Amino acid sequence: MHLDAQDNPALTAEVDRLLAHRTRDIRLNGEIKRLFRASIWPQTAKIIRAWMIWVALLDVLTLAFNMLMLPSPIAQSMLLPGAIVPPVAIVVVLMWRKPRAPWVQGTSLIAGMFLILLSVALVGVSAGGEFYERHLNIMLFVAITAIIIFGIPLAWTVAIAALALGLYLMFQLQNPAIEPESAVAATLFFASSIFATVAARRIMTILAQKTFLFELRDRRRVAELAKANDRLELLAKTDPLTGIANRRWMTETLDHLWGGDKRCLDGAAMLMCDIDHFKKLNDHLGHAEGDRCLIEVARIIQENVRRDRDHVARYGGEEFLVLLPGVNEEEAASVAERIRKSVEAAGFPNPGSRVSRRVTLSIGVAVQTSEEAISPEQLQRQADAALYLAKQTGRNRVLLHRPDSFGRKRIHSTR
């Protein structure tokens, strides 16, 4: 059962409308009423089942006590009407073990309560004497306890109260020990108490409904706040133009992968990609074409890496940073060359470029093995150095950065 109302504008509006009313004027209808009943059903059903079991056990214990303590004729007269309670209680328990149609469960509960109240009354009527009045009072007490603790619709509560008072009046009118006027007066007295209890039960139900409405509204607001936070977080970590990650997100990713150590446990390669003569593209074709070029280059880069493992970010301007965890030099150079060729093959125009009439990329590659202890910042500086030399030596190429045998750095081209 879903309590969220944020995906249903009509339900949301109805919740707000009801909460704008006074508490005593709250009336649930339609879908909200169904949701409320579904939300309280498990607890209500548990209480009703427990109450029925309690009444059945108490009835059996009382009958057993009467058989031991009372004269045999009186005890035996109580036995048959008292035996009604346990099977009735069992049937009601079974009917409330799982959700059913409201009318089915309402009918079963009201009918069960009627038979239980009738049984209690008949025990006293059958025994006669002092037991007559006493058991009628016990019957009212049983009804009042049910009214107080059963979180059921008001109509069901009123039905139980009316049945209890009706039985009480009927049997008191037949009571040879009191006058009819006294029977009516006693019924009116108990009626005021029972209906006060019904009114209290109604107030408790309305408060429960209002709490439920607050829960619906708060869940909606929490969900809206969570969505807003998710959007803000996404905006904070996403480049708004290309839709890929931005520099901040990549920095956090690098810190996470390195985990405070100077080693990436699986090793990693870093690619620094730069669009050749991008300023000239903007100057000749305009910034709209420049933006389209950035979007398409970002898409091509993403299409040439492993979506489930590699990371791509726009690092600034026309620069893109690609992180390839768990690859060696040969694999990193292969990915970089595939990206470079794909961008060149896309044929985006760049009439101002001195390299080609089409958009091209220069890429610097740096690789850290799992045994090396260098920080992500150092790895990035190596990729930057390789990119710088790639641009200095003609652009539209991939250069790999690695140390030579003398401990200095040497740049190798894969072209």
Determine the 3-state secondary structure of 264 from DSSP: coil
Cα 399 to Cα 80, 196, 263, 273, 357: the distances in Å are 99, 88, 23, 11, 22
Determine the 3-state secondary structure of 325 from DSSP: strand
* 205-235 burial code (b ≥16 CB/10 A, e <16): bbeebbebbeebbeebeeeeeeeeeeeeeee
Catalytic residue (choose from 303, 318, 331, 337): 318
CA pair distance 90, 96, nearest whole angstrom: 10
Nearest in space to 4 (alpha carbons), one of 210, 214, 219: 219
265 — phi, psi (to 5°)? Answer: -55, -35
Cα 94 to Cα 65, 91, 98, 359: the distances in Å are 28, 5, 8, 75
Point out which residues pair with 319 in neighbouring strands.
274, 316
Cα 228 to Cα 101, 222, 298, 402: the distances in Å are 39, 10, 26, 45
360 alpha-carbon distance from chain centroid: 48
Tell me whether residue 318 is one of the annotated catalytic residues.
Answer: yes
Q: Which amino acid is at 214?
A: F
CA pair distance 323, 298, nearest whole angstrom: 14
The answer to whether 194 and 161 are in contact (CB under 8 A) is: yes
Cα 400 to Cα 260, 322, 336, 390: the distances in Å are 26, 14, 10, 9
Question: Which residues touch 270 (CB under 8 Å, ≥6 apart)?
Answer: 321, 322, 323, 324, 365, 366, 367, 376, 379, 380, 382, 383
- Would you name the residues annotated as active-site residues? 318
